Amino acid sequence: MGGPFRDTRTSDGPGRGNSHLALPPPTDKGTLQEPQVRAMFDRIAGFYDVMNSVMTAGLHHKWRRRAVDLARIGPGDRVLDVATGTGDLALELAGRVAPGGEVIACDFSEEMLSRAREKASRPPGAPVPLTFEWANAMELPYADGGFATATVGFGARNFSDLDRGLAEMARVVRRGGTVVVLEITTPTRPPLSTFYRLWFDRVVPVIGKVAGDPQAYEYLPNSVKRFPGPEELAARMDACRLDVRYVLTAGGIIALHVGTKR
């Protein structure tokens, strides 16, 4: 092991080993209930990183770095990454709070967490204590005000209740701390809006079929379409006692929202 990575597992996390369970069909095209979303992420964990790189031409790493820049954290800070997936954002955070800091990263998919733990254990490892553990974003098991920042990268659109998830992130951040949301959004101006529709409506489902999981990559574009636009998301974060600013990048495809806790 190359660094102080800690493998923290729970014995009662809902959905552990769910990836092979027979699930009911979606309630609507591309719309899944929480147990289905969890099982889907368990199922695609093995090729999630490769597919992310293919679909973004590797730019998702750059966008995560930008999100951490906006978090305004430094050495010694204790930070939380929600819906961490395979841990890329958590590892970026770990590099920014060294020395003396700590990163807690949580997710409701144990298969994703397993990939994150494996990634973090590779040399040189994490430069600060980094813990991956099961948690549901709707009910974070952390004390009020315990973190300098809470981040979520490409995971907020999977919250079963967005307002509740945002409120939970705001709750666990100290006064003056930040909540950072990195998410895909829908561009409104051509020609990028035209390319975007073709890419998400036509190309991404084909990629899903090639990967062997068409349901998952039908869910992806539909989850983006259902997610609030930048102004509405800012308003929802403001309702959580956050002073919000946001920036659009990648031609308007990526939105980065930063809320400072009042």
Tell whether 17 is covered by a domain. no
Question: Residue 34's pLDDT is what?
Answer: 86
Greatest Cα pair distance, the chain, in angstroms, is 50
> Token digits for 193?
């809006």
C-alpha angle with apex 49: 46 to 55, nearest 5 degrees?
125
Tell whether 114 is covered by a domain. yes
- By C-alpha distance, which of 126, 30, 25, 33 is closest to 84? 126
> Token digits for 172?
């666990």
With tokens 């952390």, the residue in question is: 142
Structural domain that includes position 55: 5-9+25-186+229-261
Q: What are the average pLDDT values for consecutive 10-residue runs of the chain, which has 262 residues?
A: 47 33 34 82 87 81 96 97 98 97 98 97 94 98 98 96 98 98 86 76 76 77 88 98 96 94 96
Q: Contact, 228 vs 166, CB < 8 A?
A: no
**Number of domains forming the structure of the chain:** 1
> Token digits for 113?
């967490």
Backbone angles phi, psi at 148, to 5 degrees: -75, -30
Tell whether 119 is covered by a domain. yes
Q: What is the CA radius of gyration of the chain?
A: 17
Tell whether 85 is covered by a domain. yes
Q: What share of the chain is helix, strand, coil (3-state, %, to 5)?
A: 45, 20, 35
- By C-alpha distance, which of 39, 44, 151 is closest to 105? 151
Tell whether 213 is covered by a domain. no
Q: What is the CATH number of the domain that holds 168?
A: 3.40.50.150
Question: Residue 85's pLDDT is what?
Answer: 97
Tell whether 98 is covered by a domain. yes
pTM: 0.85
> Token digits for 214?
């068409």
174 vs 183: CA distance, rounded Å: 23
- By C-alpha distance, which of 105, 233, 71, 220 is closest to 163? 233
Backbone angles phi, psi at 202, to 5 degrees: -115, -50
Tell whether 196 is covered by a domain. no
Question: Residue 187's pLDDT is what?
Answer: 77
- By C-alpha distance, which of 217, 250, 249, 245 is closest to 233? 245
- By C-alpha distance, which of 208, 195, 139 is closest to 169? 139
Tell whether 151 is covered by a domain. yes
Question: Residue 44's pLDDT is what?
Answer: 87
